Structures are given as C-alpha cells and as structure tokens.
C-alpha cells in the first residue's frame, strides 16, 4: 500500500518505490507538495454566461478587453502546448473586484448584453458578494504571473505553462511555487510532468478514473509524488537542468515527440530504470 494512501500496488511498483529512497537521500528527489502549493481554479457559477469566444473578444472595445482574461479549460492543454479559444469576464485587479456598485457597469456592453439579462439567475448563487462577479474567482488569480497549470483530471498530456501570466484557469489546478521560480524552473517541471514516467507515477500514487488512463490531478492525490528537486543547487547548475528546460520549451511549441528524450533523462538521473 502506498504511504498515506488507500491504494494497493503491485510488487514491481513497490520495489520501484523502495529504490526511490536512494534518490531522496541524495537530494535528487523531493515531493510535489514540497515544491508547489496546488490550488483549484475558478468556479464561474453559471455555465457559459461569463465566457466569450476568441472572435467575440476581438470585437470588444479596447477598454473592455482589459476586463477579460484568457481562460484555460480542459480543451486548452495539448501535451504541453497551451491553446486558448475562450476568454472569461474577470472584473478584478490585484486588489480584488473593480466594480463595487452596479451603476459603475452601465457603460459596459458586456454588462448590457450578457450580464444584465441574466441578473436573476446570477443573483441566486450562494456565497457571492456581487452578482456580476464570478462565484469563486480565487484570490491568487487576481495578480498576473507566469504559472504552471493542469486539468482537474488527466495525465501527462494535461499540463501547460502560461509564460505571459495573463491566463486564469477554470476548475483545473495551478501549481504555485513555494519558493521563487525563474522561467527555466517552470519549463523544467513542464517537461517532468509531461513525461511518460509521470504517467507511471500517477498510476502508483493517484486515483485512476474509469474509462482509461486518467487520474485525479488534485493536491490530495499527487502531493506525495516524487519529482526532481529544483532546490538542489547542484541540479540548477547542471547540463541536465538546461536540457530539461529546452525540452519543456519544445513541448510548449507543440513538439510532443521529445517525450521519449525526457524519459531517458529522467531515468538516467532521477528515477530507477525499470
């Protein structure tokens, strides 16, 4: 049984976990939970009212575009490549909600065309302060920062990196570093999480869903997964670190054929070769 888990594993998987102790002792590995806080994405509250298509976004006045953010959905993650097809009404800045009163919204077309006609249904949501806001916008999304994201459920194909830092995510997960990250660090972990080896780790540590190799990617199920320790100074100064950074960038550009190369590096330096 996996430590702190209900899950039964095979003999080979158990031997794999035992061998990991050597890599922990060498400070090559740590856990996801030691590197990241995993936070849930926004709950919009009412389906489709707050979201618009890319084409609809392009037609907005410049003054209204700043009230929308690109939104990451389950269709946005493509084996490390970020694909944005929708934008979300997001009337917040780093200090919180922008509009304190409904009167402040009068000159905004989206308010007149989409929000106001749905005021009754939007007002019935529980736990909201302003009916024109999202149900759970998540405070950490108020500030724009580069972030690593995943779908709520998925596998190694379900991770992306938003380098610009403009996106928000709906229902999925954000991996918020516990220590300061640079851009290379994010790409390094994008490569790790997008590897076939990470699928193996998910199969051991996480909860598999019915219908195939899909797993719960929430904090409870993956926080104990062993990953390379970016806080190891020796790793940060190594060629391996630079190679993984470059491979992460390749994934972002749409080149998923590098996954076997990532696997070879991980097996050579960070995980038992099984």
Token duo for residue 139: 């405070």
User: What residues contact 211, with CB distance under 8 A and at least 6 apart?
Assistant: none
Structure confidence at residue 274 (pLDDT): 59
Full-model pTM: 0.93
Token duo for residue 74: 């389950």
Reduced to 3 states (helix: H, G, I; strand: E, B; else coil), residue 236 is: helix
- Listed in sequence order, the DSSP H helices in 93-207 are 109-110, 119-123, 183-193, 196-205
Structure confidence at residue 11 (pLDDT): 77
> Between β-strands 173-177 and 226-228, what pairing exists: parallel, antiparallel or unpaired?
unpaired
> Between β-strands 215-216 and 153-154, what pairing exists: parallel, antiparallel or unpaired?
antiparallel
Q: Which of 193, 187, 191, 197 has the alpha carbon at shortest distance from 263? A: 197
Q: Which of 247, 238, 152, 125 has the alpha carbon at shortest distance from 195? A: 247
Structure confidence at residue 1 (pLDDT): 43
Q: What is the pLDDT along the chain (274 residues), one digit of tens a residue?
A: 455 555 677 878 888 888 898 899 999 999 999 999 999 999 998 888 999 999 999 999 999 999 999 999 999 999 999 999 999 999 999 999 999 999 999 999 999 999 999 999 999 999 999 999 999 999 999 999 999 999 999 999 999 999 999 999 998 999 999 999 999 999 999 999 999 999 999 999 999 997 778 999 999 999 999 999 999 999 999 999 999 999 999 999 999 999 999 999 999 999 987 5
Residue whose entry in the numeric block shows the structure tokens 């990470």: 198
Token duo for residue 40: 């849930």
Asked if 194 and 232 count as a contact pair (C-beta separation under 8 A), the reply is: no
Token duo for residue 2: 């996996």
Q: Where are the beta strands (DSSP E) in 17-124?
A: 29-31, 36-40, 51-53, 68-72, 77-78, 81-82, 86-89, 92-93, 96-97
Asked if 235 and 28 count as a contact pair (C-beta separation under 8 A), the reply is: yes
Token duo for residue 147: 């972030």
């Amino acid at each position: 049984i996996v430590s702190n888990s209900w899950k039964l594993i095979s003999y080979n998987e158990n031997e794999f976990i035992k061998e990991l102790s050597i890599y922990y002792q060498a400070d090559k590995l740590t856990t996801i939970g030691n590197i990241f806080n995993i936070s849930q994405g926004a709950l919009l509250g009412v389906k489709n009212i707050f979201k618009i298509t890319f084409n609809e976004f392009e037609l907005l006045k410049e003054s209204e575009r700043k009230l929308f953010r690109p939104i990451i959905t389950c269709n946005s993650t493509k084996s490390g490549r970020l694909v944005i097809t929708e934008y979300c009404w997001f009337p917040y800045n780093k200090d919180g909600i922008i509009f304190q009163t409904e009167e402040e919204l009068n000159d905004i077309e989206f308010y007149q065309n989409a929000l106001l006609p749905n005021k009754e249904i939007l007002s019935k949501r529980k736990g909201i302060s302003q009916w024109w806001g999202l149900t759970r916008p998540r405070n950490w999304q108020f500030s724009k920062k580069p972030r690593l994201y995943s779908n709520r459920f998925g596998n190694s194909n379900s991770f992306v990196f938003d380098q610009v830092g403009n996106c928000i995510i709906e229902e999925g997960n954000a991996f918020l570093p516990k220590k300061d990250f640079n851009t290379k660090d994010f790409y390094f972990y994008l490569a790790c999480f997008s590897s076939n080896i990470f699928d193996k780790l998910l199969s051991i540590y996480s909860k598999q869903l019915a219908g195939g190799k899909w797993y719960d990617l929430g904090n409870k199920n993956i926080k104990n997964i062993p990953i390379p320790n970016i806080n190891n100074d020796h790793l940060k100064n190594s060629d391996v670190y630079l190679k993984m950074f470059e491979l992460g960038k390749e994934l972002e550009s749409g080149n998923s054929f590098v996954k076997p190369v990532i696997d070879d590096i991980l097996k050579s330096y960070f995980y038992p070769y099984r």
